[in-house]
Structure 1
């Protein structure tokens, strides 16, 4: 069975990841409205890749 700290960690991760809704019209942290020309709307998960050192 899962221990309590691990279960709390999983619940926190689920809450944080649920804020990553691409169809949302507001920013998840500030709640500010996204503009029609906002560059954030064109971001994709591939834009956030972190390359290993030396590549």
Structure 2
């Protein structure tokens, strides 16, 4: 029983993490194709940090 729960948890985690694959050939929101010089190709998650108020 425990093994089935662990396998189900691992498969769910793998499915969720596979959805996080970064595709630099399309825009993140619209899914449109990027041109060779589009700035979206150099974006990283660190570029989207939001600073807390008062900093």
The runs of 5 or more residues in structure 2 that have no matched partner are 1-15
Larger radius of gyration: 2
Q: Which has the higher contact order (CA 8 A, sep 6+)?
A: 2
TM-score with structure 1 length normalisation? 0.51
Residue of structure 1 in register with 2:49 after alignment: 49
Q: Once the 2 structures are TM-superposed, how far is the Cα of residue 23 of structure 1 from its aligned partner? A: 2.8
TM-score with structure 2 length normalisation? 0.51
Residue of structure 1 in register with 2:38 after alignment: 38
Aligned to 1:23, the other structure's residue is in SS state coil
Contact 2:25 2:41 in 1 (8 A): no
Instruction: Tell me the distance in 2 between the aligned counterparts of 1:35 and 1:41.
Output: 9
